[in-house]
Every structure is written in structure tokens, then in C-alpha cells.
Amino acid sequence: MLIAIVIVAALFGMLFGFDQGVISGALPFIKQDFTITPFMEGVITSAVPLGAVGGTIVAMVTTDRYGRKPMLILGAVIFLVGSLISALAFNQYILTLARLLIGVGIGASAMTAPMFLAEVAPARIRGTIVSAFQLMITIGIMVSYMSDAAFGGSGDWRWMIGVGVFPSIIALVGILLSPETPRWLTLNSNADKARDIIARLQPESSDAEIDGIIAEIKESARDEEAKPSWSTFLKKGILPITSFAMIVFVLQQLSGINAIIYYAPEIFKNAGFSGTTTDLLATVGIGVVNVALTVVAMYLVESMGRRKLLIMGFIGTSAAMALVTVATMINIAATPYLAMIGIFAFIAFFAVSLGPLPWLYMAELFPLRLRPRGMALPSVANWFFNFVVALLFPELLAGIGIVGTFAIFTGFCVIGIFYAIAVAPETKGVTLEEIEQRTVAAG
């Protein structure tokens, strides 16, 4: 049963990735159907991250009251309806509204699904199960690129997007069949039901062990009863965590990752490649490298450690972005290939480091009592800057060109090197309780 539930919740990660990635291959054809300006291109693309800012806030204020399961059901329904409307949209405005709606679903489930996973997973495998969510995001992006490539020949952008309906239906049926989390039930005076569910999730546990789990949940709830006020996050001792968790996400987004995720075929065209099919295939390659290196990251965060990996990631992404900038500036016969090498190298360094690390830091650094609200702040920063990049990229490309745009991304990656060297903490091999102690001591 546990496996089935984990698959269902991780499927939300896949939907998240799918809806992020699918626009990249669809956009060139949407542009042919509805004549749109670069600004409108940015609006259509950035509607998803903008909606996600709203969805994160909705989830933050409602999931404690109504439960994780209803939030995820709502998320799946929104995905489904949003995918259908965008596939059928007859103008760019309906398409934008549908994508805004999908964004709300993404934001809400990106907050709730990892929480759901963490609360149903037995403690000993929690880390692996939660990090599987990031992996599923990258798999979703890869599948969306494959859908783009499959329908690229016929240029049918409606099918590219419409394919998203199928995983939404599976996620919806799956979550309807899943139980609410034992933790939420216990906190909402339904310990008996929670006990039944834990017994089904962990059939190897004895009655005494199950009682222990329920007692632990109640114990931790006592600490959480006094909900922290937002000003807590500005207090000495906590402020450095709040600002680090947010800034590392801001730099993650300003590195230019989603310019590539959303606009890869456009970028390849600007770098001198011609032929939509080549662009779409190259884009599938990006999706595959992203997945593969995320798997490597799951190993490296433990062996190399967070801090070293983050510094290395910023150095690597800076070099890769600099290569794209210089290659497009000198404009020689080899330019398209050099730019492509730069973009693949960027994705590899990103996926192994800047991709998963901000999520991991966010979950590790805040003391338990502050975690739910603490995690909402960096999530909002992540989506907001994702929105800014998605909105401005087509305008920048049209205005200052590919060289200037990638020079800006290079600049932010270089700032990241210095920021990581100055501030990034090491949390490898340290228990969450020890991290908490450090925070208390600093405060």
C-alpha cells in the first residue's frame, strides 16, 4: 500500500514537471496559430509560475484545516481542467488563463505532495522518498519534451499539451483511493483512524510501535501549537536561515534554468540551429541529462556534502553560461555546437547541484516548529523569480539579444559562487536536531 501511495504522490511531481516543460515545444506552433508579440509569449509562459505563487499561498493557509488529501484532490482536478482548457483554447487569452489555473494546481501540490509523502513515509526512508519528488519533476519535464517531439512533426501543439490530461486522471483516481495522512488525522482528533492507516502502511509494526508513533505525533504537535508569527523569521538566529533559504532559490532561478526549460527550442534557433525537429530532439536530450544528473545528485549530496556541491555547481554553471555567451558573440561556423555544449553542461551542473540543493536546505535548516511556514517563504521566492525570468526572457531576447541575455545569467551564476563561499552551511551527516541546536545557540 505504501508503494502505491508514494507512486500517486510522486505523480504530482511529474505533473508539475510536465506542465512546466511542455510549453517549450508548443510555443513555436502556438506563435503560428495566434500571432503574438514577445511580451505575450512571456505572459503565456509565465502564467504557470505566477499561478503557482497563488497556489502555494492557498495551500499554506488551508492544508492544516482541511487536510492533505482534499488539497491534492483539488490540485489534480485543477490540473485536469486546466490541461483540457489549454488544449482546446481558441485564443491566447484563454490559453493564458488556463495556464494560470494549472499554475495554482502546481503551486498547491508542490507544497502539499512532499508534505503528504513525508507524513506517510516511515522515518527510516523519509529522505529518499521526499527527494524522489524532485526526481519526478525532472521526469515530468522529460516526458513533456518527448510529447513535444512526438507531435512536433505535425505541429499539433494542442496534443502536446493535451497529453497532460492522462497523468492528471491517474493522479486523481489514485489520490481518491489513498488515505489521509496519519499525522493530519491525529492532529485533528482522529487517532483511531490514524492507527488503522499506520497499521496498513507498516504491516510489520507491532501495536506498541504504532502507539509510539501516535504518541510522537502528539508530542511534536504540542511544540507546534503556538504557531510562529511571521516576525519570528526576522529574529536573530532565524533571519540568516530565512534569507539563505530564499536567496539560494532566487539565485537558482536567476541562473537562467527556466529560460532553458521553457524556451530551449527558441534558444537553439537563436544560436543558429535550423529545423524544428532538431531543436525538439536536442530538447529531449536536455530532459534526459536533467533526469540522469538528478539521480547522481542524490548520491553526491551525501558523499561530497551540500556546501562543496553548491560551490562547484555555481562554478560549473558560470563557466557553461559564459561559453554560451562567448560562442554566440563570436558567431563562427561552430557557434551552434559550442552553444549547445554550453547549454548541456549548464543543465548537467544545475541538475547535480543548484536543482536539488535549495529544496534540501529549505527542508533541513528550519527548526521543526517553524518548518511549515518557513518552507512557504522560500517556495514563494522560487515561484516569483521563476515568473520574472519566464516573463522577461522573450523580451530580453528580442531587445538585447542572446549574447546580452546570457551574459546576465552568467553574472548571476558568478554572484552565486561568492555567495555560496561566504554563506552556504554544511548539513551533511548532521541530524535535524543538531541543526536545530545550532540555530537556537546562534539566537
Residues making contact with ligand BGC (CB under 6 A) = 20, 137-138, 141, 252, 257-258, 261, 290, 355, 382, 386
Q: How far is the CB of 209 from ligand BGC (least distance, A)?
A: 35
Q: How far is the CB of 289 from ligand BGC (least distance, A)?
A: 10
Nearest to 79 by CA among 175, 166, 177, 176: 166
- Note whether 316 and 353 are within 8 A (CB): yes
Q: Which residue has the cell 489549454?
A: 86
Q: How far is the CB of 290 from ligand BGC (least distance, A)?
A: 5
Nearer to ligand BGC, 261 or 392 (CB): 261
- Note whether 176 and 49 are within 8 A (CB): no
Nearer to ligand BGC, 261 or 407 (CB): 261
For residues 105 and 52, give the distance between their C-alpha atoms in angstroms, rounded to a whole number. Answer: 7
Q: How far is the CB of 382 from ligand BGC (least distance, A)?
A: 5
Q: How far is the CB of 257 from ligand BGC (least distance, A)?
A: 5
- Note whether 355 and 298 are within 8 A (CB): no
Nearer to ligand BGC, 270 or 290 (CB): 290
Residue number, nearest CB to ligand BGC: 355
C-alpha distances in Å from residue 204, one per residue of 161, 179, 197, 201, 208: 43, 19, 13, 9, 12
Nearer to ligand BGC, 113 or 201 (CB): 113
Q: How far is the CB of 217 from ligand BGC (least distance, A)?
A: 29
Nearer to ligand BGC, 261 or 309 (CB): 261
Nearest to 349 by CA among 382, 310, 386: 310
Q: How far is the CB of 299 from ligand BGC (least distance, A)?
A: 17
Burial grade of 236 (CB within 10 A; 0-12, 13-18, 19 or more): exposed
For residues 347 and 336, give the distance between their C-alpha atoms in angstroms, rounded to a whole number. Answer: 17
- Note whether 49 and 103 are within 8 A (CB): yes
Nearer to ligand BGC, 213 or 357 (CB): 357
Q: How far is the CB of 137 from ligand BGC (least distance, A)?
A: 6
Nearest to 172 by CA among 72, 303, 34: 72
Q: Which residue has the cell 554550453?
A: 342
Nearer to ligand BGC, 272 or 287 (CB): 287
Q: In 226-305, which residue ranges form alpha helices assigned H by DSSP?
A: 239-254, 257-270, 276-303
Helix (H), strand (E) at residue 52? helix 38-66
Nearer to ligand BGC, 20 or 317 (CB): 20
